[in-house]
């Protein structure tokens, strides 16, 4: 028996390795930066600004076609809320990494399927199967165990991570709506959101962080140089992470992407534990693994539910066809000739 390997498999594998490496490195660099420079708003501002600056030349080099003018109603209904969401998600994510360990922050982010299920029900009216709901149980249990046994627990960090996860979930839903309704390239959409998010964050950063940074008495030239280098590195790594993630998503199915993202989360947690060496217990690690395992179960349950949903119209179509044939035969009986 010969197993055929898809032509894109080596490319996807290579991109996933790059994605995992960049994401793990960016998490550790971001944590080290925030330990020495406790200004998550500044780091978030640099992140969205870097995406806006680097994305423009990338679109030109990749020859991404320009989008059609966005109607004013759609701009106010989709683009502006998505931009606010991107800015809020960036700030809350870095607040969580600042206040709690990277491993714990990424464990909390495993609750994203819970928010997705609830929000899809409230916003889109989508119902899920029993298996999907059951798959959320180990996620909740794992996060609860990790929270109870977390040695470096911080309430502000926990709430920030939950807010970031909630915001990312809302963004995912409305981003799909924007891509579908506006017929816009996903990289173009990312570029637009990054620019508007930068404008949104600029006044908050200037009033909250910039004023405090300028009052530092120990800002020597050496410290300023180190700060600029670290901010540039984390901004560029975040841009690369977004680019590689979008490319992987364009090459594989949503389920495969979800599995790849869950695998990335495991590696980020492991890498952060090894590099940052924050104290953990065996029960704490068990809670992390349980939550990640729940994410895999959720992805599997969603795949089965979507497969049944795709097959149902064909069954109904076949049934309708049989009923039509029976109806015709009843009205016009066929004459069979036996030889």
Is residue 154 included in any domain, yes or no?
yes
**Count of H helices and E strands in the chain?**
13, 0
Burial string for 27-38 (b: 16+ CB within 10 Å, else e) reads bbbbbebbeebe
Per-residue pLDDT at 328 = 43
In a domain, 328, yes or no: no
Looking at residue 147, its pLDDT comes to 92
> Is 17 inside any structural domain?
no
> Considering only CA atoms, which of 16, 253, 40 is closest in space to residue 161?
40
Residue 255 confidence (pLDDT):
63
Flag whether 2 is in a domain: no
Q: How confident is the model at residue 339 (pLDDT cuts 50, 70, 90)?
A: very low
Give the model's pLDDT for residue 247: 78
Residues 167-174, mean pLDDT to the nearest whole number: 85
* Distance separating alpha carbons of residues 165 and 106, to the nearest angstrom: 10
309 or 23: whose pLDDT is higher? Answer: 23
The pLDDT, as a whole number, for residue 171 is 86
**CA atoms of 105 and 153, how far apart (whole Å):** 10
pLDDT digits (tens, 9 = 90+) for 261-283: 888 888 999 999 999 888 888 99
Highest mean pLDDT among 14-18, 174-178, 198-202: 198-202
Classify 153 in phi/psi space as left (phi over 0), alpha (psi -120 to 50) or beta: beta
User: Does residue 334 register a pLDDT over 50?
Assistant: no
Q: Which domain holds residue 244?
A: 28-210+228-311
Average pLDDT over residues 245-255: 73
Q: For the chain, how many structural domains are there in total?
A: 1
Domain membership of residue 22 (yes or no) is no
pTM > 0.85: no
pLDDT score, position 310: 66
Mean pLDDT of 295-323: 68
Residue 168 resides in a domain: yes
Residue 329 has pLDDT above 80, yes or no: no
pLDDT tens per residue, range 43-92? 999 999 999 999 999 999 988 888 888 999 999 999 999 999 999 999 99
- Residue 178 is predicted with a pLDDT of 86
157 Cβ partners below 8 Å, 6+ apart? 95, 96, 98, 99, 100, 104, 105
pLDDT at 336: 36
Give the pLDDT of residue 186.
81
More confident residue, 87 or 246: 87
Would you state the pLDDT for residue 315? Answer: 44
Query: Considering only 6-15, 190-199, 277-286, 307-316, which range has the smallest mean pLDDT?
Result: 307-316
C-alpha angle 163-261-41 in degrees, rounded to nearest 5? 35
Examine residue 301 and state whether it is found in any structural domain, yes or no.
Answer: yes
Domain contains 331: no
Cα–Cα distance for residue pair 49/53, rounded to 1 Å: 6
Q: Is the pLDDT of residue 220 over 80?
A: no
């Amino acid at each position: 028996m010969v197993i055929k390997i898809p032509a894109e498999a080596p490319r996807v594998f290579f991109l996933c390795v790059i994605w995992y490496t960049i994401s793990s490195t960016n998490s550790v660099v971001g944590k080290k930066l925030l330990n020495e420079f406790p200004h998550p708003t500044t780091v978030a501002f640099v992140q969205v600004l870097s995406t806006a600056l680097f994305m423009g030349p990338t679109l030109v080099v990749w020859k991404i076609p320009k989008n059609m003018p966005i109607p004013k109603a759609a701009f106010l209904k989709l683009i502006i809320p998505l931009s606010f969401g991107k800015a809020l998600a960036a700030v809350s994510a870095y607040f969580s990494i600042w206040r709690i360990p990277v491993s714990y922050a990424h464990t909390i982010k495993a609750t994203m399927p819970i928010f997705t299920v609830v929000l899809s029900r409230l916003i889109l009216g989508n119902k899920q199967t029993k298996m999907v709901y059951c798959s959320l149980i180990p996620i909740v249990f794992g996060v609860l165990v990790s929270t109870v046994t977390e040695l470096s627990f911080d309430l502000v960090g926990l709430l920030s991570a939950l807010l970031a996860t909630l915001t990312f979930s809302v963004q995912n839903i409305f981003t799909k709506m924007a891509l579908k309704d506006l017929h816009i390239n996903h990289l173009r959409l990312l570029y637009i959101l990054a620019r508007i998010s930068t404008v949104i964050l600029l006044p908050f950063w200037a009033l909250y962080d910039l004023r405090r940074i300028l009052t530092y008495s120990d800002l020597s030239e050496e410290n300023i140089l180190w700060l600029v280098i670290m901010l540039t590195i984390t901004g560029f790594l975040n841009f690369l992470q977004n680019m590689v993630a979008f490319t992987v998503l364009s090459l594989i199915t949503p389920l495969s992407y979800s599995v790849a993202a869950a695998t990335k989360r495991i590696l980020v947690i492991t890498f952060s534990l090894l590099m940052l060496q924050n104290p953990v217990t065996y029960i704490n690690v068990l809670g992390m693994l349980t939550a990640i395992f729940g994410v895999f179960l959720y992805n599997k349950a969603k795949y089965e539910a979507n497969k049944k949903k795709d097959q149902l119209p064909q069954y109904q179509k076949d049934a309708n066809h049989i009923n039509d044939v029976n109806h015709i035969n009843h009205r016009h009986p066929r004459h069979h000739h036996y030889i």
